Amino acid sequence: MLATQAIFRTRDFALQSGQSLPELVLAYETYGALAPTRRNAILVTHGITSNHHAAGRYSASDAQHGWWDRIIGPGKAIDTDRYFVVSSNSLGSCYGSTAPASVNPRTGKRYGPGFPRLTITDMVAAQRALLDALGIPHLVAVAGPSYGGFQAFQWGVSFPDFMDGLVAAVSAPRDLAGQLAVDQLRALFAADPAWNGGWHYDGDGMRDAMKRLRIRTLKEYGVDTQLAAAISDPDARAASLEIMAADWAGTFDPNSLLALRQAWVGFDTEKDFAKIRAKLLYVLCTTDAVFPPSLAPEVMAKLKSAGVDAAYFELESPFGHLALNPEANKWAPVLDAFLRRLPSDR
């Protein structure tokens, strides 16, 4: 399956902070075909350091498959023979959308560390503007892992009647870490002489700091365990992890990471659970150190108390936070059954 890439643009986009973006740009991909009824669309949202390349390849010779390639595609759980899938890059991400590294049309210079503060609600509102521009009046579902799961929860309370289903996987409906996590990240960057108060764009010295951060994050996510399934030698695994981290560090803007992490602070949809009208599937992994399955009883109890039609699935896997794609065979049938309960007019 080949991915179709596109760019959405709009002007004077208002943010919750009271500021506005003179130009909003969102990069996105689509898979499948939009039905004549225009009501067979699913929106897919991505993790905090990921991107909108969720499935397929860019050409027949391209080896780079998307991060949910075992979930999205013909005959898969999110079946592109049945659904039109829109995968939007998040506002604030540095992979083609308006973000700190973008040029501010008002000044002709990068936003840099002066980029307006974002919220998860702003990101969802930007996605809604994209869908409106595509002429999509209603979604079958919004589905996403981790940070994308935050957005799925937010969609449920921001636009309760716009979708029939919500899928939040390896995620949570509220902020679990608070401002402290952002302050620690700022301190880490500030300790690097290349940071220059956030104006690091003229050099590449931040790559080392970002690489170290990425290695730590990948280990927390369980990537080392995944690599061990294919690479028995510890030194070879460490080398592979270093390559993965270096590739990411060379492309991801530290200011974007701060902006996206700051947007999570104060995020809380639990207080608005009663607004949710869509059916909801909540998925956690047994070995996820980021969003452990111990979250499930309280979240599910609050959803049920609010009258939400919610189901929970616990994915048993040693692969931690990033288990969803490699372990697709274990949970894709649950996702497929959930989606088939929802209206999808072709």
Buried-state track 24-39, b at ≥16 Cβ within 10 A, e below 16: bbbbbbbbbebeeeeb
Between the alpha carbon of residue 43 and those of residues 111, 124, 207, 209, 298, the distances in Å are 28, 11, 32, 33, 27
Spatial distance between the Cα atoms of 321 and 323, rounded to a whole number of angstroms = 6
Does 294 participate in catalysis according to the annotation? no
Q: List the catalytic residue out of 146, 158, 317, 344.
A: 146
60: Cβ–Cβ under 8 A, 6 or more apart, which residues? 2
Q: Copy the structure tokens of residue 255.
A: 């200011």
Give yes or no: 146 in active site.
Answer: yes
Compute, in degrees rounded to 10, the torsion defined by CA atoms 192, 227, 321, 143: 110
Q: Which long-range contacts (CB under 8 A, 24 or more apart) does 243-251 make?
A: 244/214, 244/218, 245/211, 245/212, 245/214, 245/215, 245/218, 246/207, 246/211, 248/49, 248/210, 248/211, 248/214, 249/206, 249/207, 249/208, 249/210, 249/211, 249/213, 249/214, 250/204, 250/207, 251/94, 251/95
Candidates 87, 288, 317, 344; catalytic one:
288
Q: What is the DSSP letter of 217?
A: H
Please report where in the chains the tokens 């700190």 appear, as a residue: 100
Token reading at 210 = 């970002």
| Cα–Cα distance, 145 to 44 (Å, whole number) | 9
Query: Helix, strand, or coil here: 71?
Result: coil
What are the residue numbers of the active site? Answer: 146, 288, 321
